[in-house]
Structure 1
Amino acid sequence: MSKVPLTLRGAELLREELKRLKSVDRPAVVAAIAEARSHGDLSENAEYDAAKERQGFIEGRIQEVESKLGNAQIIDPKALDADGRVVFGATVELEDMDSGDPVTYQIVGDDEADIKQGKISLNSPVARSLIGKYAGDVAEVHTPGGKREYEILDVRYE
């Protein structure tokens, strides 16, 4: 598997999730399984079935997070020196050329993307059109709703 870019903050969040899964969620589901077993017949025990299903989900998520962290190329946006070029981890201030609305995005990995927090995936159409450009450039984005143009006002590494 190839390396997947991940910001420093994204890696911290995954490590926190992994710690919670191993130290809180896993012991809780083991206790729930033990409690359900104490109720007797397992063939018609919905609590036992639900706890076993939850255990499978938790173990699968632990493996997934460990794999993501193991294959991550962790990038600290503050340590970047891209001479004002839009790169992974950069925070970009844009102006929609049609409406004049300002918008700010940080370009992050797929797992970190959250449009409500202004974090867009490196693989999104907007991010792909911004990569490699500088402040003052115009990025043309082809979206399902049609072509949109954004002027890059500022590029920061924070």
Structure 2
Amino acid sequence: MSKVSYYTPEGLKKLKDELNQLRDVERPKASQAIAEARDKGDLSENAEYDAAKEAQGLLEMKISKMEELVANARIIDESQLDTSKVLVLSTVKLENLNNKMQLSYTLVAESEADLKAGKISVTSPIGKGLLGKQVGEIAEIQVPNGTLKLKILDISRE
């Protein structure tokens, strides 16, 4: 059974664009590389042919995984989401109780995560620890260097 992933419309479009790029541009390039290597003679000692075939196999595997992701993707209607607790696409304002710093993260699907943009995956340890929490609650999250205590200050949709 495949895992359903939730995306914003932009995130799903980006995923589909990448899949189309792989199918329409990269796949023909891989086939062309194999054909060129095959034309160079004896296949039993042709490292270029072996490398091209291996690259094609890896490309086909990546395409297959992306096709599965797209097939199991669901778009989230942000207007229907509850803002009383942390869910996918929640923008959460937090206070780290260990060092009193305030931070803000938006919880997104794994493929849309971008820490520099403040987007963390719902499958990350912090994302999992925040899901379902409400304003005022403290999430205690196990991270490699100990336990993070994050107090939820605000939940919004942006």
Kept after mapping to 2: 8 A contact 1:3/1:73: no
Amino acid at match of 1:82: D
Per-residue Cα deviation, 1:108-145 (whole angstroms, up to 9, x for no partner): 23333343443322233322221222233322223332
Provide the aligned C-alpha RMSD in A: 1.9
Deviation of residue 87 (structure 1)?
Answer: 0.5
Stretch of structure 1 that moved more, 5-14 or 52-61? 5-14
Q: Percent identity?
A: 45
**What is the TM-score of this pair, normalised by structure 2?**
0.86
Q: Structure 1 unaligned segments of length 5 or more: list them.
A: none
Q: Which residue of 1 aligns with 2:53?
A: 52
Q: Structure 2 unaligned segments of length 5 or more: list them.
A: none
What pairs up with 1:92-131 in 2 under 5 angstroms?
A: 92-131=92-131
Q: Which residue of 1 aligns with 2:69?
A: 68
How many positions carry a matched residue from both structures? 157
Amino acid at match of 1:15: K
In structure 2, the residue corresponding to 1:36 is in which secondary structure? helix
Q: Which residue of 2 aligns with 1:32?
A: 33
In structure 1, the residue corresponding to 2:17 is in which secondary structure? helix
**What is the TM-score of this pair, normalised by structure 1?**
0.86
In structure 1, the residue corresponding to 2:45 is in which secondary structure? coil
Partners of 2:79 and 2:71 lie apart in 1 by 21
4+ runs deviating over 4 angstroms: none
Partners of 1:80 and 1:157 lie apart in 2 by 11
